[in-house]
A and B are shown apart, each in its own frame.
Chain A
Amino acid sequence: MIAIEVENLTKKYKEKVVVNGINLKINQGELFALLGTNGAGKTTTIKMLSTLILPNDGKVKINGLNVIKDRQEIREILNISPQETAIAPNLSVKENLEFMAGVYQISNKEEKINELIKMFKLDEVLNQKAKILSGGWQRKVSIAISLINDPKILFLDEPTLGLDVIARKELWAVIKHLKGKITIILTTHYMEEAEKLSDRVGIMAKGNLLTVGTSNELIAKTGAENFEDAFVKIATGGEL
């Protein structure tokens, strides 16, 4: 079943085309990585798919719902973990979870919070203020918060940016655990991350979605030695 269906999605700021008529289908339970150089249009695409901004043209359907007409219903079934950790700094980890549970009016609030505490092993930091946590913990909390409403679709924008190798591997384990249960759209600059975690990869450059496929398909298609080289070939049009 298709979770996200995008047709001719376009975003312009004045005369500048930031996303240029992209077409894409993402299956339910799939982990789709959106890659691209800086300014490729990944974040703008994610913002349109997650209802934050409106497209200038094109159609987006999330679980069959129209992103413009059914915006409010869509917001009940998706969530996002933004690039910045986006947590309330003076609230403890538990209070952050409770706050977001209140935002989504979760009926079985305690049960859901306990489930997330267990899943992310948050016990040791539960009563600590979010602002004093390490970068790795903040990211974990950020992703935990984004699961509070049991989203069917989850957007992870650079989830491991700036983290050390151990914190990154820990988060990969969490993302792998979610794989298959939730449709995940991940943006990252780390090729290894995209290759290891995703089912399929889409590569964007200058607002265009250049190609979509599995990492192995893209390596084979470009004749590159590895995925990073394949990405560079596609993103630069073979110039590098």
Chain B
Amino acid sequence: MRIINFAKRNFKEIARDPLSLIFAIILPLFLLFVFQQFNIPNESYKLENFTPGMVVFGFSFITLFTAMLISKDRTTSLLIRLGVSPMKSREYILGYMLSIIPIILIQNTLFFLLAIGLGLRFSINIFFAILVSIVIAVLFISIGIIIGSVATEKASSGISSIIVQIVCFTSGMYFPKEMLGKGFGTICEYLPFESCLTILKGVMHNRFQNIQLRNVIVFVIYAVVVFVISVIIFNRKMTSDNK
């Protein structure tokens, strides 16, 4: 119950910040709409590829909000107040994670509704893609927890913006990874964002053969390792902030 209580509070904090709505929902919707108005001769911009690309792009802002929320909770000493309460470490982490899920569902629903309005063929796989995206979001939330635990509120937004850029360049949402050469392609393969997009596309298009084992392994390793690191760092900072 404490987890739900904490998640509800976190959700309200994020949802009541107008910047959250603009960056996480309105900006990707705007980009999705605008890019479909031009006939760009690149596979990445086809509606069936660009829509999941926008989902992953929207997730990079989830990293930003998670980081900002945690760093704000640290600066305002709310975490000191909670630190003397009976709340346990796992309740904080799960509370932060759960609060993001409704935002993800709202984001994805609106992205896919707009895409369908723009001509994307509706299929049941869209629902599966939304479900898979929740799992993918764990990675982005965990990155946000790490940033928010180590950085100040101002620095959190700066560092998270770098993540947004890395996602844009390495996920393949704007251009195929091969376009910038073999070296860049290899970097993309070893970073998780291209795998996130490939998995999401594969599920959405019901073309599981397009998802390579490498994509699954890279994503799972990153998601697990980053999640574990986020729990360790958050717990350490909860103690060290109080020194």
- Residues of A that sit less than 8 Å from B by CB: 13, 44, 47, 50-53, 72, 75-76, 78-91, 95, 99-100, 102-105, 129, 145-146, 155
Contacts and interface: CB of A to CB of B under 8 A. Distances in A.
B76 A103 contact: no
Interface of B: 1-2, 5-6, 8-9, 12-13, 16-17, 72, 75-78, 80-87, 239, 242-243
Contacts of B1: 102, 105
A99 B9 contact: yes
B201 to A, nearest CB: 35
A146 B86 contact: no
Contacts of B75: 84
A103 B77 contact: no
A90 B16 contact: yes
A102 B5 contact: yes
Given A47-B242, A102-B1, A91 B81 contact: no
A145 to B, nearest CB: 7
A147 to B, nearest CB: 12
B85 A82 contact: no
B243 A103 contact: no
Contacts of B9: 88, 91, 95, 99
A86 B12 contact: no
Nearest to A83: B77
A90 B13 contact: yes
B81 A86 contact: yes
A194 to B, nearest CB: 22
Contacts of B81: 80-82, 86, 100, 145-146
A100 B2 CA distance: 10
A91 B84 contact: no
A86 B86 CA distance: 17
Contact of B243 (A53, A79, A81, A105): A53
Contacts of B5: 99, 102-103
A129 B18 CA distance: 14
30 contacts: A50-B84, A51-B84, A75-B84, A76-B86, A78-B84, A79-B84, A79-B85, A80-B84, A82-B80, A83-B77, A84-B80, A85-B76, A86-B76, A86-B78, A86-B80, A86-B81, A87-B76, A87-B78, A88-B13, A89-B72, A91-B9, A99-B8, A100-B81, A102-B1, A103-B2, A103-B6, A105-B1, A105-B2, A145-B81, A155-B84
Contacts of A72: 86
A47 B240 CA distance: 12
A89 B85 contact: no
Most buried by A among B13, B84, B243: B84
A52 B238 CA distance: 9
Contacts of A85: 76-77
Contacts of B87: 103
A81 to B, nearest CB: 8
Going nearest first, the 8 A-B pairs with the smallest beta carbon separation are: A102-B5, A84-B77, A86-B77, A90-B16, A82-B77, A86-B81, A52-B242, A99-B9
